């Protein structure tokens, strides 16, 4: 999630996250009832849930998790429709420790199903050092993530023992990757985005490569931040969105693009958009959109953008303590050249147009 307002001398960001490479569920056909349900939800979809992550599993259910404003637990919802997540019962599947590691700032959980097991990636600090934030993993081998036992697999070990968060995982051409945000010693930034291949869902094989660091003015407002990676693979390319700047109304999203045949661990394979692809809108009254992920609508074809934003620009006090980053969804468009068209964050109210598959 986005955690933007820590003294710069600590070189940390109160940062945001979520993401995932989500595709249409095999065997799911478009239907009139699916189209109706997809168009019927309203924004905000879920209030006071930041860094949202929604995935559609092969069982046809949508699974939702996000950061709770108390930063003390990991929650889970599910529904056969996106709109149903708004009123679905919420379960707490894990709570922070009362001492030591994983005891503070429980941020940006993501739920993934890998090799028949469920995994949650999340960031957490220590009770005695709340800014010593690192990436941790939970595992559950039950077919139903609401049952069974969530076991702590431990911390993901990266090249440096530094501020790190916002992990997401995706598979590409037979290899599983982890993308995340981290402070690299010696760099003049708060966080950059890194990529590594994985030996298993909790172990990196390396090398750990930096894909993007804040360089444009819009990435450096308040804090020099790239965080919250999210991946979608379409039209012969791999697209990695990310969030930038402080977590107030300056928070926005950038985009990296690589050819699907390229070596993703070669930073030269990626091109970077010089301008934000998604940003605050006075016209629609949405501010600080970011920490997104991608899912697919009930028709099995239409891509959906999931993100959080606030309904106001001015924040009293520390943005970290403002709970009103709400989960929102809208259709992700596609241009004729095969690149994503994020548009602008839609206004509060019915989220129409989600069923118009364009790719």
42: its two tokens: 């309203």
Give the per-residue pLDDT at 126: 98
Number of H helices, E strands in the chain: 1, 24
More confident call, 347 vs 318? 347
- If you ran DSSP here, which 8-state letter would residue 37 be given? H
Q: What angle do CA 306, 178, 23 make, to 5 degrees?
A: 45
Q: Which of 139, 166, 227, 322 is catalytic?
A: 227
Give the per-residue pLDDT at 40: 64
The answer to whether residue 316 scores a pLDDT higher than 50 is yes
Question: What is the average pLDDT value for the chain, to the nearest integer?
Answer: 89
What mean pLDDT do residues 142-167 have?
98
Give the per-residue pLDDT at 206: 83
Task: In whole angstroms, give the CA distance from residue 86 to residue 130.
Answer: 31
DSSP lists the bridge partners of residue 284 as none
More confident call, 188 vs 35? 188
All residues at 6 or more sequence positions from 75 whose CB lies less than 8 Å from its CB, including other chains = 49, 65, 66, 68, 90, 91, 92, 93
More confident call, 353 vs 263? 263
Task: In whole angstroms, give the CA distance from residue 56 to residue 137.
Answer: 20
Percent of the chain topping pLDDT 90? 84
337 noted as active-site residue: no
Task: In whole angstroms, give the CA distance from residue 320 to residue 163.
Answer: 17
Pinpoint the alpha helices (H) of the chain. 32-39
Task: In whole angstroms, give the CA distance from residue 219 to residue 104.
Answer: 27
Q: What are phi and psi of 135, to 5 degrees?
A: -100, 135
263 noted as active-site residue: no
pTM of the full predicted structure?
Answer: 0.89
Q: What angle do CA 117, 155, 248 make, to 5 degrees?
A: 100
The answer to whether residue 304 scores a pLDDT higher than 80 is yes
Task: In whole angstroms, give the CA distance from residue 53 to residue 112.
Answer: 10
350: its two tokens: 């019915």
Please report which confidence band the pLDDT of residue 271 belongs to, taking 50, 70 and 90 as the band edges. very high
What mean pLDDT do residues 8-18 have?
30
Task: In whole angstroms, give the CA distance from residue 340 to residue 230.
Answer: 13
Q: Which of 51, 101, 139, 219 is catalytic?
A: 51
Give the per-residue pLDDT at 351: 72
What mean pLDDT do residues 103-115 have?
98
β-strand 129-140 against 209-212: which pairing, if any? unpaired
């Amino acid at each position: 999630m986005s955690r933007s307002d820590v003294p710069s001398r600590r070189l940390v960001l109160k940062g945001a996250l979520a993401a995932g490479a989500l595709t249409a569920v095999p065997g799911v056909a478009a239907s009139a009832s699916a189209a109706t349900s997809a168009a019927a939800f309203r924004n905000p979809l879920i209030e006071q849930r930041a860094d949202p992550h929604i995935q559609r599993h092969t069982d046809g259910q949508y699974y939702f998790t996000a950061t709770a404003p108390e930063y003390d637990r990991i929650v889970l919802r599910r529904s056969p429709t996106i709109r149903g997540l708004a009123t679905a019962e919420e379960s707490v599947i894990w709570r922070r420790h009362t001492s030591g590691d994983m005891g503070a700032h429980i941020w940006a959980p993501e739920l993934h199903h890998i090799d028949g097991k469920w995994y949650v990636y999340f960031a957490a600090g220590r009770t005695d050092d709340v800014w010593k934030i690192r990436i941790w993993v939970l595992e559950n081998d039950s077919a139903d993530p609401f049952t069974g036992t969530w076991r702590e697999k431990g911390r993901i070990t990266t090249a440096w023992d530094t501020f790190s968060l916002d992990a997401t995982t995706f598979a590409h051409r037979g290899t599983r990757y982890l993308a995340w945000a981290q402070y690299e010693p010696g760099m003049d930034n708060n966080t950059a985005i890194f990529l590594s291949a994985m030996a298993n869902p909790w172990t990196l094989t390396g090398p750990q490569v930096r894909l993007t660091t804040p360089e444009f003015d819009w990435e450096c407002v308040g804090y020099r931040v790239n965080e919250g990676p999210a991946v979608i693979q379409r039209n012969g390319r791999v697209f990695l969105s990310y969030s930038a700047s402080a977590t107030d109304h300056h928070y926005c999203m950038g985009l990296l693009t690589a050819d699907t045949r390229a070596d993703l661990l070669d930073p030269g394979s990626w091109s970077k958009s010089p301008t934000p692809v998604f940003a605050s809108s006075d016209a629609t009254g949405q501010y600080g959109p970011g920490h997104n992920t991608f899912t697919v609508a009930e028709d099995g074809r239409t891509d959906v953008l999931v993100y959080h934003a606030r309904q106001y620009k001015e924040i009293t006090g520390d943005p970290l303590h403002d709970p009103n980053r709400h989960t929102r969804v809208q259709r992700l468009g596609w241009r004729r050249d095969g690149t994503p068209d994020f548009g602008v964050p839609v206004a509060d109210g019915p989220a129409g147009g989600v069923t118009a598959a364009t790719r």
